[in-house]
Amino acid sequence: MEMNDMVIISVDDHISEPPDMFKNHLSGQALETAPKMLKDENGKDVWHYQGQTFASVALNAVVGRPFEEYGMEPTSLDQLREGVYDVHERIKDMDVNGIAASLNFGSVFDFAGGRLHRVPDKKLAATHISAYNDWHIDEWCGAYPGRFIPCAILPTWDMDATIAELKRVTEKGCHTVSISENPTCQGLPSIHNEYWDPFYKAINELDMTICLHIGGGNPAPHASMETPIEAWISTMPMSIAYAASDWLQLEALHKYPDMRIALSEGSIGWVPYFTERADFSNSRHKYWTNSRFQNLKPSEMFRRHFLNCFIDDAFGLQNIQFIGEDNIAYECDYPHSDTLWPEVPERLWPTINHLTDEQIDKITHGNAMRWFRFDPFKHYKREELTVGALREKAKAAGVDTSPKSSLGERPLAEGDVRPVTSGDIMKMFMRHEDADTASRETQEA
């Protein structure tokens, strides 16, 4: 296999939703009360909903910008590549990057709908979640069948409404949902509480996959507000280990052997030590902890139920025997700052070409197809979705990948040469949102 022969499915990308996203899916009072994107006094795009102001959906959508302009900018849609919010332009950006298909997390309600847990009218919020899912499935993913993996969000504060929405989106062809990895952060019972039993039952009966995205619940820890922001960014993917450890202890995993959980944007290099440590801890403590792991090892359960997703992880790819070649999938993270667009194939190939063709196929697209119940080859021939074929298509379309410069607000004053800190970034958010929301938004970006 050569680089251009790869078929790459990205299982973690993002959308900064357009302001008219609800117009085709709501009417009357439901449309009138839907989230609205407006300009603030500084010309920044912000969403307004039920008395709350959400930081601009564009935050950290820096794809295609010069590196020196990276940051928590930009803050308005006109500063972005159009592919961030326009599905037709997104396809072009996928083609030029050699990406055959993509799973996209939303922004307006956050990756797992967490913002809606803080609004006063939850019944209205449930209506708007359904409208969002309709837009996401029918308009965004439906515009190019076979190129997108639909991913719904849920009104998890109401379990009856959650089950109804699971059934509804499944009938629309959506087999993946994104929820908070730690619902106690949203004021809900923990994942170990019986409150969630109907959810686990429905997920398994409907054959759906759960996505747990970093920043959707557990905070990525950082030492202090004076800590350079690079320290925080470096450890953000590994924060998913807190969720992995918690979910690995879930009783439902023993009850439902086919349950599937994707650890989105969590990378893979940490997994061998994590599973080794889980087995060691179990071997020392299961005699007094009433552990559910008496005969089955935690590492065996982890490999049975969890998909690990990476952006750039050469170490992990050198050690797939300790992770599982059936438990790894690629993610591009477009349009966030970690994305390697438009050079994904050039960055991925040197880290993966030591593997067999079968292993490469699994990691680049086969595992994604299986774990997310998604088959792009129902719509396209394989040879139409290779890196080489997609790039030829993009070349014919004249896709421009030149950097787009649109420098806005910066975290430090001009001439300040000290390292940017966590506190500097938090202050940027606090100008538009309360402290609690700012903290969450920083982790999500």
Three-class DSSP labels, 214-264: CCCCCCCCCCCCCCEHHHHHHHCHHHHHHHHHHHHCCHHHHHCCCCEEEEE
pLDDT for residue 436: 40
Average model confidence (pLDDT) across the chain: 93
When mean pLDDT is compared across 64-68, 253-257, 283-287, the lowest value belongs to 64-68
Distance CA 433, CA 269 (A): 35
- Provide the sign of the torsion angle of the four alpha carbons 384, 386, 388, 391, taken in this order: positive
Q: Which of 111, 116, 107 is nearest to 16 (CA)?
A: 107
Q: Give the pLDDT of residue 433.
A: 56
Other CB atoms within 10 Å distance of the CB of residue 51: 8
What topology does CATH give the domain 3-444? TIM Barrel (3.20.20)
**Cis omega (within 30 of 0) on the bond before 335?**
yes
Task: Give the 3-state secondary structure percentages of the chain, helix then strand then coil, rounded to 5.
Answer: 45, 10, 45
Which of helix, strand or coil describes residue 70? Answer: coil
Query: How would residue 445 be classed by pLDDT, with cut points 50, 70 and 90?
Result: very low
pLDDT in tens, 199-240: 999 999 999 999 999 988 888 788 899 999 899 888 889 899
Lowest mean pLDDT among 69-78, 180-189, 200-209, 344-353: 69-78
The pLDDT of residue 376: 98
Number of H helices, E strands in the chain: 17, 11
What's the confidence (pLDDT) of residue 34? Answer: 98
In the β-sheet with 36-39, what is the strand arrangement from edge to edge?
Answer: 36-39, 45-49, 52-54
Long-range CB contacts (< 8 A, 24+ apart) of 32-39? 33/124, 33/128, 34/128, 34/131, 35/108, 35/109, 35/128, 39/76
The residue ranges of every structural domain in the chain are 3-444
Distance CA 91, CA 82 (A): 11
Q: Which of 56-70, 148-162, 292-306 has the lowest mean pLDDT?
A: 56-70
Does residue 317 contact residue 352 with C-beta atoms inside 8 Å?
yes
User: pLDDT band at 41, cuts 50/70/90?
Assistant: confident
Would you say residue 407 has pLDDT above 70? no
Helix segments in 28-105, DSSP class H: 28-32, 87-96
| Cα 31 to Cα 35, 49, 140, distances in angstroms | 9, 12, 19
Q: For residue range 304-355, what is the model confidence (pLDDT) as tens digits?
A: 999 999 999 999 999 999 999 999 999 999 999 999 999 999 999 999 999 9
User: Mean per-residue pLDDT for 130-148?
Assistant: 98
Which band of pLDDT confidence, cut at 50, 70 and 90, is reported for residue 434? very low
Single out the residue of 234, 119, 247 nearest to residue 186, CA to CA: 119
What is the enclosing helix (H) or strand (E) of 133?
A: helix 122-134
CB 44 within 8 A of CB 56: yes
Instruction: Indicate if the pLDDT at residue 121 is higher than 70.
Output: yes
| 156: Cα within 13 Å, side-chain hemisphere | 29
User: At residue 143, does pLDDT exceed 90?
Assistant: yes
- Residue 217: per-residue pLDDT: 84
Mean pLDDT, to the nearest integer, of 129-153? 98
Token pair for residue 312? 């750039």
Q: How far is CA 414 from the centre of its chain?
A: 33
88 DSSP β-pair partners: none
Asked if 178 contacts 153 with a C-beta cutoff of 8 angstroms, the reply is yes
Q: How far is CA 165 from CA 172, 198, 330, in A?
A: 11, 13, 28
Task: State the burial class of residue 78 (Cβ atoms within 10 Å of its Cβ: 0-12, 13-18, 19+).
Answer: exposed
Which amino acid appears at position 400 of this protein? D
At 444 the pLDDT is 43
- What confidence score (pLDDT) does residue 54 get? 84
User: What gap in Å lies between CA 352 and CA 361, rounded to an integer?
Assistant: 10
